[in-house]
Structure 1
Amino acid sequence: MGRLLIVAPGPTANGDLHLGHLAGPFLSADVCARYARASGRDTLFGTGVHFTQNYIVTTARRLGEQPEQLRLRAAEQVEATLAAAGIEPDGFVRFDERYVKTVRRFFERLHAEGQLRLRPMTFPYLPATGEFLTDAYVSGSCPVCLGEGCAGLCENCGHWIASGELIGPTSTQHPELAVELREREVLVLPLEEHRAALAAYFDRLAPTMRPRLAQLVEELMAAPLPDYPITLPIDWGIPAPFAETPGQVLYSDTETIAWSLHAIALAAEARGEVPGDHERYWTAQAAPEVVYFFGSDASFAFALAGTAMLLALGGLALPAHFVTNEFYELDSDKFSTSRGHVVTGRAT
């Protein structure tokens, strides 16, 4: 058997880990890694924190601090909470120049291989401030389930919702200002072009997928798959390295695979391996068994869009398992650091 690569995707760097994080993906990933090693399996376990989502900006505003300060403090808290719970990842992703280079290099490769397309997308726009609104910057009703929330990954139904598809979009930071819809050209990964390969892949995974993930995949594959934006016309995030999209940033939710590759490279180095190409641990030739542990709301980003990116690049191993967890709830709503109503994993 090839090496086992375990990835527990990092939470948004806008606060400490809560009990939902710990009792779900992090504890499960740690148990899996310990069991595999006790059985003699060569295993790498990577996790960390995600630093580029604009939920950091909105949470920082609510808390009255700077986004940079919040994401650095959150990373320290998450690492301390994992240690307090006895969870010991090999690699822990932080926001530094090496991470930025890894992400940019990943998307530059996708671009160089002709996998990205320049297409117009519609975004909510604030004429009063000149800002486009995406993800945490805009809220409304999901066109799939009608649940209230922000753009991006819908926490109610799991579908990915483009900002311009929200029903009744409102600025979360300036709710008093009028919103209109405007088009802007962005680079996208056309997921529909990978439909056949994705369908075959999920057919193979069907026996091990948990019900929520299986249902989501069935719903998504029953309709045309979206153009998934790689760049966005906002200013929070890693600057996009493409001439076609000046002034734009890389969409944080598309960093899933680059983040995972980086986490595993850090894990390998922490266990004594010589630093090198961040993709070498994931090559199909190396034949690793890749297992993800994450909350069900991340299923689209990692299972569908992430797999499509791997298929687009070619030569890299596809995940063997996605272990998804349901939400912990507080007052009939999910634990959410962004909403400020969590039970943290340690005394503060």
Structure 2
Amino acid sequence: MADWLLIPMCPTPNGRLHIGHGAGPYLRADAIARALRRDGHTAAVITGTDAYENWVLAATGPDRTPEQTCRHYHGGIGHDLHALGVELDHWIDPLAPQHRAAYRRLHEDVFDTLRARGAARRTVESIPVGVDSGRPLLGVWIAGRCPTCDAPAAGNTCTACSDHFHPDELRQPHSRLTDEPIRWRHHPSWFAYPDDPDAIIDRLRDTGLPEHFLTVPRNYLRRATARIRLTQPGTWGITSDAQPAGTVLSNTYYAYSLYCGHLHHGRAHDNAFAPNSTSTVVGLFGTDNSIAGLIAPHILAAPAGFKPFDHTVINHMVHFEGRKCSTSKQHGIWISDLIDNTSITTDELRYPLAQLPLDHHIGDIDTTTLTTRINELRTWQTQKLAPTLSASHETTLGATELDLITSSLDQQRRHLTPPHIDLAAATAVAREWMFNPPPATSHPHQATTWLAGTALLTAPILPQLAETLWTALSLGQQPLQIDALHNEPIRPDTSALQSATQCKALAASEITRYVRRT
């Protein structure tokens, strides 16, 4: 059995999570981890908020400091992930007393090592500065048009084409949060550069990354300006004794992941990213973080004394009613609005989100689709699940029944084992078992077989249902594993799911009142 560490992209604590966030790396990480544990592996999910990202500054106010803003949204985002059923082994706040010093020290150690080994170079770059404020305009402060696809873009990435760019490459740049004009000044910053772009692409391909996800990093590496930022001008960020005032260390996703790798092993001078580590480490992120998640690890890892991600899982964006879900534009539906204020359960929200084909292309969802799929699950519970549980009785499954369940588990496993992830296809395998063919309630032994298979196949996607059903079958072992069915009597409790299966249809108005549109 293997040890897995899954690290979904660290969210910025500048707002709560919407369904676009939830449907992407977080739902995937949780589903993959549950599937791996079902197969007998150990699997941890570790992430935290990206407190040193300067997009935090846009969420501050006259009565709330950046630190207070981070603390506020760190708690809120943690609540949102829990509401979506995402189980985390560590939820990191880099500003918290138990993390602050160690987190800063790791970043300084990585930077010092890169400099000492000649992998970091000091380069003078052109930086936009606000004429009125004198503020360097990077990250949250700058906007313009993408140099690749000409779509509106802010910061250093394009959510339309996934490109990554430097400040002087942005077209029609302007101050994003003020009307002040900009001027340009030269500023020395530290960067790490690719030593062999073709070798990086080959290594990414060797990890099993699908070919269509290689286009963005390949195009980026062809540029003369391909590089990974290690420092930047500004006052909000990771300070370093080696940098002058007004310069901070860049908070790369890879360095954040190294800190997660340290926590996973829990020992000083040990890390899941060590070259000799037996842990399989997986990074999960959206297409707009392709350079941060694919290129940066392969530039930084070896000279820093670590390995890059063993695998990466990338998802496309979620659109709500034809437009990308967005915190800054307040467009979409927020997780807490649905789970905290409506009758929608964790499983019911996961069910439609897991069916979005984000492993292949952009997924679009609207209130009608959400309502229809949630009601499909509710109808299934009342019309199929409850009658089948009532028809089941104590029995022991034989080889034929176990082989039937195992066949579907094998099919689903192919979609939930990195690097080959297709959450929608994995959900389709579960749905095929759930809906076709209908359980034969006139044959109690078949009914019990169907219930056991339903629990195992829904475990990664609908964990509340799976665990409740597993308990109803008097199978107490956690996590859910097929080995628990071998030569063990199953004793269904026909009353166990009564409350869970008595639910009325969801009205679309329950959702529409919480929709935010721009």
Task: Please give the TM-score of this superposition, normalised by the length of structure 1.
Answer: 0.88
- 1:272 match: none
**Which amino acid counterpart does residue 284 of structure 2 have in structure 1?**
F
Contact 2:272–2:281 under 8 Å retained in 1: no
Instruction: State the shift of 1:116 in Å.
Output: 0.9
- 1:168 match: 172
d(CA) in 1 for partners of 2:64, 2:323: 26
Contact 1:47–1:92 under 8 Å retained in 2: yes
Which is further off, 37-46 or 20-29?
37-46
Distance 1:112 1:221, change over 3 A: closer
Q: Which runs of 4+ in 1 moved over 6 A?
A: none
Instruction: State the shift of 1:108 in Å.
Output: 2.1
d(CA) in 2 for partners of 1:88, 1:263: 15
Find 1:276's aligned residue among 255, 268, 283: 268
Which structure has more RCO (C-alpha within 8 Å, separation ≥ 6)? Answer: 1
Contact 2:220–2:226 under 8 Å retained in 1: no
- 2:191 match: 188
Contact 1:90–1:266 under 8 Å retained in 2: no
Find 2:141's aligned residue among 115, 137, 141: 137
5 Å-filtered alignment, 1:74-113, equals: 74-96=73-95, 97=100, 98-113=102-117
Q: Which secondary structure state, in structure 2, belongs to the residue aligned with residue 31 of structure 1?
A: helix
Distance 1:66 1:342, change over 3 A: farther
Find 2:328's aligned residue among 328, 338, 347: 338
Q: Are 2:328 and 1:324 equivalent residues in the alignment?
A: no
Instruction: State the shift of 1:196 in Å.
Output: 4.2
d(CA) in 2 for partners of 1:342, 1:296: 19
Find 1:203's aligned residue among 202, 205, 226: 205
d(CA) in 2 for partners of 1:33, 1:241: 39
5 Å-filtered alignment, 1:206-225, equals: 207-209=208-210, 211=212, 213-224=213-224
Which is further off, 15-24 or 335-344?
335-344
**Which amino acid counterpart does residue 345 of structure 1 have in structure 2?**
I
- 2:253 match: 256
Instruction: State the shift of 1:57 in Å.
Output: 0.6
Contact 2:113–2:303 under 8 Å retained in 1: no
Distance 1:195 1:49, change over 3 A: same
- 2:276 match: 285
d(CA) in 1 for partners of 2:122, 2:323: 38
5 Å-filtered alignment, 1:212-251, equals: 213-224=213-224, 226-243=226-243, 245-251=244-250
Contact 1:4–1:42 under 8 Å retained in 2: yes
d(CA) in 1 for partners of 2:304, 2:104: 19
- 2:132 match: 128
5 Å-filtered alignment, 1:28-43, equals: 28-43=28-43
Contact 1:288–1:317 under 8 Å retained in 2: no
- 1:313 match: 304
d(CA) in 1 for partners of 2:148, 2:302: 27
Q: Which secondary structure state, in structure 2, belongs to the residue aligned with residue 122 of structure 1?
A: strand
d(CA) in 2 for partners of 1:341, 1:64: 26
d(CA) in 1 for partners of 2:196, 2:59: 35
Task: Please give the TM-score of this superposition, normalised by the length of structure 2.
Answer: 0.60
Q: Deviations over 1:171-217 (max 9, x none)?
A: 12222x221121111111123x2424313212323x53263x22212
- 2:362 match: none
Contact 1:92–1:266 under 8 Å retained in 2: no
Which is further off, 8-17 or 217-226?
217-226
- 1:56 match: 56
Distance 1:163 1:157, change over 3 A: same
- 1:47 match: 47
d(CA) in 2 for partners of 1:258, 1:81: 24
Q: How many residues align?
A: 333
Instruction: State the shift of 1:288 in Å.
Output: 2.5
Q: Deviations over 1:106-155 (max 9, x none)?
A: 22222222211111011111232222111111111111111112131221
d(CA) in 2 for partners of 1:320, 1:281: 11
Q: Which secondary structure state, in structure 2, belongs to the residue aligned with residue 132 of structure 1?
A: coil
Q: Deviations over 1:255-307 (max 9, x none)?
A: 212211212333444xxxxx322x52221212322212211111111111122
Distance 1:35 1:153, change over 3 A: same
Contact 1:292–1:319 under 8 Å retained in 2: yes
Q: What runs of 5+ residues in structure 2 fail to find an aligned partner?
A: 341-518
**Which amino acid counterpart does residue 21 of structure 2 have in structure 1?**
H
Q: Deviations over 1:16-54 (max 9, x none)?
A: 121112112111111111111221213222111111111
Question: Identity across aligned pairs (percent)?
Answer: 24
Distance 1:152 1:261, change over 3 A: same
d(CA) in 1 for partners of 2:242, 2:135: 21
Instruction: State the shift of 1:65 in Å.
Output: 4.0
d(CA) in 1 for partners of 2:227, 2:245: 20
Find 2:262's aligned residue among 251, 261, 265: 265
Q: Which secondary structure state, in structure 1, belongs to the residue aligned with residue 133 of structure 2?
A: coil
Instruction: State the shift of 1:246 in Å.
Output: 4.5
d(CA) in 2 for partners of 1:276, 1:199: 33
